[in-house]
Amino acid sequence: MAEETNDNALEAKIIEDKFLEFYSTYYQAKLDELYLGYPKKRGLMLDIRDLERFDIDLASGLIETPDVILPRARAALARLNPNPEAKQPVHARFFGTGAGMPMIQDVGSEYIGKLLALDSLVVKRAEITPKVSIGVFKCTFCNSVTKVELEAEAEPEICPQCKRRALKQLSGESEFVNLQRIAVQDPLEKLKGSTPTWQLEVWLEDDMVNTVTPGDRVEITGVLRIKPRKSFRG
């Protein structure tokens, strides 16, 4: 198990080092601009076609397994932040997947977990809601404190020290991020005749909230997720 963990850490470092080289080769001027505007500006727009020219395998991995590659791209970006007391996250935002964009009505199970781009018309926008990004939990039995990155792990139920179900979240010490739900559909001019419109739910995060309004036509790049079924038991 330890060897597997070390191998994963080594692979993660190799990927991060590749992104460090990619950023310095293709985006040094935009990096300087990003960090001059930090923390108000926290997103770096990156063209996947540039990544393909730099490393075709890394670009393919980004599209096929974004949950593996994107955290490494963000970690590499954070390593370049010259602000010694930086607390706000920075985001590597990719666009230009290279492949033909599917119609929203054709997005099916073959796209789950992959990075895809959609030509979209925004039809709805909800209010901003907070989400815990890094949760801090204290055990009411042994008083140990646990810090968990909830993007990568589920909210803990059992104290890792005393193994009891006695964890209570410390809201004042946890870190939150803004979320906003929008709904998009295919642009009307791309629909044929009386074809019904299909809507897709999209979640905007952090500095992306309130950047679009209903009626905007935008190209959205993101990872397709399955929405959990609601349970009315318990």
Pick from 97-101, 142-146, 159-163: least confident: 97-101
- Residue 227 CA neighbour count, 13 Å, CB half: 7
- Indicate the domain borders of the chain: 2-95, 104-128+178-223, 132-176
Please give the average per-residue pLDDT across 65-79, as a whole number: 94
Give the CATH class of 2-95: alpha beta
Pick the closest to residue 58 from 67, 69, 49 (CA basis): 69
In terms of CATH architecture, what is 132-176? Single Sheet (2.20)
**φ/ψ (deg, to 5) at 142:** -110, -5
CA distances from 106 to 96, 102, 110, 182, 198 (A): 19, 6, 10, 19, 9
Task: State the pLDDT confidence band at 231, using cuts at 50, 70 and 90.
Answer: low
Mean pLDDT of 101-123: 93
Task: Please provide the average confidence, as pLDDT, over all residues in the chain.
Answer: 87
Half-sphere exposure (CA, 13 Å, Cβ side) for 124?
12
- Please tell me the pTM assigned to this model: 0.79
- Identical fold for domains 104-128+178-223 and 132-176, yes or no, is no
pLDDT at position 9: 77
3-state secondary structure at position 4: helix
Of the listed ranges 38-47, 79-88, 108-117, 178-187, the least confidently predicted one is 79-88
What is the CATH number assigned to the segment(s) 104-128+178-223?
2.40.50.140
Q: Where are the alpha helices (DSSP H) in the chain?
A: 2-26, 28-36, 48-54, 56-64, 66-79
